[in-house]
Structure 1
Amino acid sequence: MKNTSNSTQSSPSTTQKNGWWVLVSIGTFAFMSNLDSSIVNIAMPIMAKELHVPMNQIEWVVSAYLIILSALLLFFGKLGDLYGKVKVFRIGTVVFLAGSFISGLQINFPVLLIGRAIQGIGAAMTLSNTYGITTSTFGVKERGRAMGFVGTFVALGAIAGPGLGGLILSQLSWGYIFWVNLPFGIFAIILGAIVMPKSYQTTGKRIDWFGFINFALLIFGLFLGDFLGQEIGYTKPLPLILFAIAIVTFWGFIHTEKRTKNPLMPLSMFKIKAFSYGLGAAVLIFLSNFFTVIIMPFYLEDARGLTAGQAGALLIIFPIVMVFAGPIGGWFADHFSQAKVATIGLAIVAFAQALYYFLTLNSPIWIYVIYHHCHGCRNRIIPVAKQ
């Protein structure tokens, strides 16, 4: 396949025209993706009550989004290389907004899950190409600053979610936590249509379909088996079948990636110790984060009897501490080795998770605030080490 030139797919030595406006457009969707994650968490107790869904099932509102996102992220990254990152990103913005609209209709639980799955597809299309567009738009001297700018949008989304969610839920129905994406998304789409380059470049490489199918089935089998096991028991036939599918497709994925010329995920990356250790630390972080974002809204609203607005004000502590703890993590990274910084961060992970064990229905709120501070600090120390 013949390559065509495209400014968005090359590595320019200087920043392209309208580069910062391009960044605002893609940064807005980075903001929305994190806003969507953090704002949904505060609404789950209310959604569970109004939809008459138990706690172990309302988790699917988050899980459906994350499973779809995880399964398709690599695929849409490759698709962006093949057909153009800008093109895939633009389609993803429309898909994400369509999912947001459907999720906010408040029809029933299955329709909500369908909307969340569509959101996950759109998020995978946009997030997998965000940094590729950024590196192709900005010159070497400004690329780092541009990456940091995207990171700022991500942090702002996490910060705004709990507070904005509490405000919306105190005045409107929970469907509006999804519809709040619509004005932001329409703005980003219009801006992107104006400032983003229209052309794109293909790589001439084929998609690793066997790798993609194996990876997608691995993600679906592993997580669906886990979630269903929690509901009906891990020894039931369906979870066992799903786990078996995950094991077989994991072997198939490794086997395929070792032999294909254009692997979906080059396994040689795992020979780099810094990459492997950083990935392992990231897994531990997200596992502990999942507990916080799912369980704590129920603890604050159902167990402690706080309103959605009050719970949102407390949950916003987490991303705020992450922002202010960033320079601390940077100082550690500048003065100590990566291994030491990661060790410190993981020690704080264990300490912060252990603290939650001592929370009771009678614990003063200020105790929760201290525990949440520790949780937020370790999220900023380890990412700096990984970078």
Structure 2
Amino acid sequence: MMGIKYRKGDVRMHSKFMENEFIKQIPILIGLGMFSLLTSISGSSTNLALPKISEDLKITNGQSTWIIQIGLIVSAITFVLFGRLGDSISKTFIFTNGGIIFLVGSLITGMALDFPIIMLGRAIQSLGVAMIMANSLGIVSQYFSNETRGEALAIISMFISIGAISGPALGGIILSFTSWRWIYLFNIPLGIIIIFFSRKQLAVPKVPLKTLSNEIKSINWFGELTFAVGLTLFFLSGVYFQKGLNFFVVGLTFLIIGTVIAFAAFFQDRKFHDSLISNELVKNADYLLSISILLVVMLVNSMSNILLPFYLQSYGGISPFVSGLLLMVQSLTMLIISPISGYISDHWNRYDLTIIGLLVLLISQVGYVMYPRNINLLIVSIPIIVNGIRLGLFLSPNNAIIMGVVDESLSGVAGSLTSFARTLGVTIGISFSSILLFVQLPHVQRITPALGQKFMNAFVSVFVVATVISAVVLVAVIFRRIQNKNAI
């Protein structure tokens, strides 16, 4: 710890004690991780099911994308709300009940016979996801000390990576042998087991109905609803941007209006007597910088996630199966690196580890810039692997820094804002990269190999921008490190 000197024997005893405490808490990590795994599998396999859902429910492919969008919007809108309720009532109470709501939503989605019902099911499912994600980091802070928090967060990241890897594979098996509905119905028996296990491991209090009612009444509902409107318009802008230049003005209008309304909601909340976001967090420069860096990192990461399928499939003619395997390598690499990174972050300076992670991010973006016109799978795979290393190196120590600089009483809101920053970064990255690509390809409705160098010039230009963004973030983190020389 900063400013404290231990004798060699004291250090060994302290390390042994922390190791024993960590081992005792492993069942809690399994409960948290299994829910993260389940929600990750459900999310990553939904994309694969959209064509079958469109066919079965007799809806257009455009309509089917709203099955994804509704989940993103509902979760983002309610992250902070459920984080605040976790702090004021109980994180474990909100978390475990979020699991129940997730299963109810999965049941409705799996049984849906038309488009409105599947949208309702996905909205309810996403409420559950928000309740889970908003409080999982806070629960880690509640049960794990600063000395072991990095390793604990890394293990949860491993579960998420496993979900991202196995989701498409499991979804593919289900779609090959049975109905898409089982992608959602599969959650129910497994989720029930996880809920019983989690409730046994976590200290879940019995919250009186009156207490719950009073807390809900005390929420700044006007600010929350205003924020919901602003964020919905913000997310909708991305939908229009991805339709091409013909919808650019509509997308830009939605983006500007949505951003203004969302900021207005934030300032309205600051004046509310019991604001959702505590003044302590708003004034915590280290916390704000850390979640801002996370947002930008996820923005850059989503740029490659959205553009690589265009490069590999639409331009390069590679099959979706091979393309999927290549992109899966990133999650697999992260799965391998995360536990190593988590262990190191508990025994080394976390700020230095995030700097290394961001340096690797910069290298991966340079690798994308150097992609050849004629696809070479070996050259293509190297930046993808490097980016997976970056995710593993950066996320666990940065999350540990985020949760380590806030008071435990605020860990629910702090964790929920972290989840919100990740989601917002992904959304902005998708819209931003789509705009940058298609603004260089006017009148192009579909990317094909015939575009040749014209596509490659546009593709490379997007990653030049991503490289510049990565360099700016790296400089910001180095500056933070200089300001916190003695931080752990």
Give the alignment's TM-score, normalised by structure 1.
0.76
Once the two structures are TM-superposed, the CA of residue 185 in structure 1 deviates from its matched residue by: 0.7
Partner of 1:111: 117
Quick check: 1:301–1:307 contact (8 Å CA) kept in 2?
A: yes
After superposing the two structures, state which structure 1 stretch, 195-204 or 313-322, moved more.
Answer: 195-204
After superposing the two structures, state which structure 1 stretch, 240-249 or 22-31, moved more.
Answer: 240-249
Cα 1:67–1:268 change in 2 (3 A) is: same
Give the distance between the partners of 1:36 and 1:275, measured in 2 at CA.
Answer: 30
- Give the counterpart letter for 1:113 in structure 2: M
The 5 Å alignment of 1:338-357 reads 340-341=355-356, 343-348=358-363, 350-351=365-366, 353-354=368-369
Partner of 1:251: 264
Q: Secondary structure at the match of 1:363?
A: coil
Partner of 2:69: 63
Unaligned runs of 5+ in 2: 1-17, 402-488
Q: Does 1:284 align with 2:296?
A: yes
Q: Does 1:235 align with 2:249?
A: yes
Once the two structures are TM-superposed, the CA of residue 123 in structure 1 deviates from its matched residue by: 0.4
Instruction: Note the alpha carbon deviations across 1:158-204, whole angstroms, 9 max, x for none.
Output: 23223323333333333322233223211112223444434257799
Q: Secondary structure at the match of 1:233?
A: helix
Give the distance between the partners of 1:263 and 1:367, measured in 2 at CA.
Answer: 50
Which has the larger Rg?
Answer: 2
After superposing the two structures, state which structure 1 stretch, 73-82 or 155-164, moved more.
Answer: 155-164
Give the distance between the partners of 2:311 and 2:55, measured in 1 at CA.
Answer: 15
Once the two structures are TM-superposed, the CA of residue 345 in structure 1 deviates from its matched residue by: 4.1
The 5 Å alignment of 1:1-387 reads 20-44=26-50, 47=53, 57-105=63-111, 107-138=113-144, 145-199=151-205, 206-228=218-240, 230-231=242-243, 233-236=247-250, 240=253, 243-257=256-270, 259-266=271-278, 269=281, 272-293=284-305, 304=317, 306=319, 312-326=324-338, 327=340, 334=349, 337=352, 340-341=355-356, 343-348=358-363, 350-351=365-366, 353-354=368-369, 358=372, 363-384=375-396, 386=398, 387=401
Once the two structures are TM-superposed, the CA of residue 218 in structure 1 deviates from its matched residue by: 2.7
Give the distance between the partners of 1:28 and 1:170, measured in 2 at CA.
Answer: 25
Give the distance between the partners of 1:295 and 1:108, measured in 2 at CA.
Answer: 32
Once the two structures are TM-superposed, the CA of residue 241 in structure 1 deviates from its matched residue by: 5.8
Give the alignment's TM-score, normalised by structure 2.
0.62
Quick check: 2:108–2:118 contact (8 Å CA) kept in 1?
A: yes
After superposing the two structures, state which structure 1 stretch, 294-303 or 94-103, moved more.
Answer: 294-303
Give the distance between the partners of 2:186 and 2:112, measured in 1 at CA.
Answer: 14
Q: Secondary structure at the match of 1:265?
A: coil
Q: Give me the CA root mean square deviation.
A: 4.0
Partner of 2:464: none
Cα 1:115–1:349 change in 2 (3 A) is: farther
- Give the counterpart letter for 2:70 in structure 1: A
Quick check: 1:325–1:381 contact (8 Å CA) kept in 2?
A: yes
Instruction: Note the alpha carbon deviations across 1:84-143, whole angstroms, 9 max, x for none.
Output: 223322321121112222333463444333322221111011121223334334567665
Instruction: Note the alpha carbon deviations across 1:240-259, whole angstroms, 9 max, x for none.
Output: 367424303413313432x3
Give the distance between the partners of 2:116 and 2:265, measured in 1 at CA.
Answer: 32
Give the distance between the partners of 2:355 and 2:94, measured in 1 at CA.
Answer: 39
Give the distance between the partners of 2:92 and 2:354, measured in 1 at CA.
Answer: 37
- Give the counterpart letter for 1:173 in structure 2: S
Quick check: 1:163–1:313 contact (8 Å CA) kept in 2?
A: no
- Give the counterpart letter for 1:114 in structure 2: L
Partner of 2:428: none
Q: Secondary structure at the match of 1:263?
A: coil
Partner of 2:471: none
Unaligned runs of 5+ in 1: 1-12
Cα 1:252–1:104 change in 2 (3 A) is: closer
